[in-house]
Structure 1
Amino acid sequence: MTELGYRHGEQHTPPPARRVTDVAVERFEHVFEVDPRLMTVHVAQQLFPNWDTLRIAAGRADHLDWMHRHWAHTVVSGQELLDDITGADADGPPGGP
């Protein structure tokens, strides 16, 4: 008989975290989270099954796609914003003399 169903160990043990920055880790491809070690004092951590983490991440992407289709005339990347800020620092504040 084939075993089907839910395996607690598989679903509640996330993959090892890969450090991305000093404050962010990545456990699943393109799913970034604040390093849980930094969130122990004021924020109680909840355990999520792996499938739920992936479902939430997919839902966020779907929501952003919907918002862009319905409300955004232009979608600006984070890199474009950083480039604008970097350029503003070199030339002075935007709109300045």
Structure 2
Amino acid sequence: MSAYRFEEQHTPPPARQVTDVAVERFEHIFEVDPKLMTVHVAQQLFPNWDTLRIAASRGDHLEWMHRHWAAEAVSGQKLLDELDAGDGDR
């Protein structure tokens, strides 16, 4: 077990601009660019370990939601294919 060091855990890695509105600090974890969220949404101090914990549990949460609320899971690719084929006009 490693010691908790406030500065180490509350200083995220440098952000890499991915699009005009998204940045990536940790691999495969995208967030809205904080520069765009300064007026209406106060930014919280969030420890790095908690960001990684939440991201790691996304799959479990989605699986739980599907088991409890979805009669079927629809593939996003299937929806896009239907739109491309013109089936989405109904």
Bin of the TM-score, shorter chain as denominator length? 0.7 to 0.9
TM-score w.r.t. structure 2 length? Answer: 0.76
Q: Note the C-alpha offset of 1:17.
A: 1.4
User: Structure 2: which amino acid aligns with 1:60?
Assistant: R
Q: Secondary structure at the match of 1:54?
A: helix
Alignment size in residue pairs: 89
Instruction: Work out the CA distance in 2 between the residues paired with 1:87 and 1:18.
Output: 36
| Higher radius of gyration, 1 or 2 | 1
Instruction: Work out the CA distance in 1 between the residues paired with 2:82 and 2:15.
Output: 32
CA-atom RMSD in angstroms: 2.2
Q: What residue number does 2:26 align with?
A: 28
Q: Note the C-alpha offset of 1:43.
A: 0.4
Cα deviation code 1:5-38 (max 9, x no counterpart): 1112211111111222211111111211111111
Q: What residue number does 1:39 align with?
A: 37
The runs of 5 or more residues in structure 2 that have no matched partner are none
Q: Note the C-alpha offset of 1:40.
A: 0.5
Q: In structure 1, which of residues 50, 60, 63 is the aligned counterpart of residue 61 of structure 2?
A: 63
Q: What residue number does 2:89 align with?
A: 94
Instruction: Work out the CA distance in 2 between the residues paired with 1:85 and 1:57.
Output: 30
Q: Secondary structure at the match of 1:42?
A: coil
Instruction: Work out the CA distance in 1 between the residues paired with 2:19 and 2:26.
Output: 15
Instruction: Work out the CA distance in 2 between the residues paired with 1:87 and 1:25.
Output: 33
Q: Note the C-alpha offset of 1:70.
A: 4.4
Q: What residue number does 1:48 align with?
A: 46
Q: Note the C-alpha offset of 1:63.
A: 0.5
Instruction: Work out the CA distance in 2 between the residues paired with 1:85 and 1:52.
Output: 38
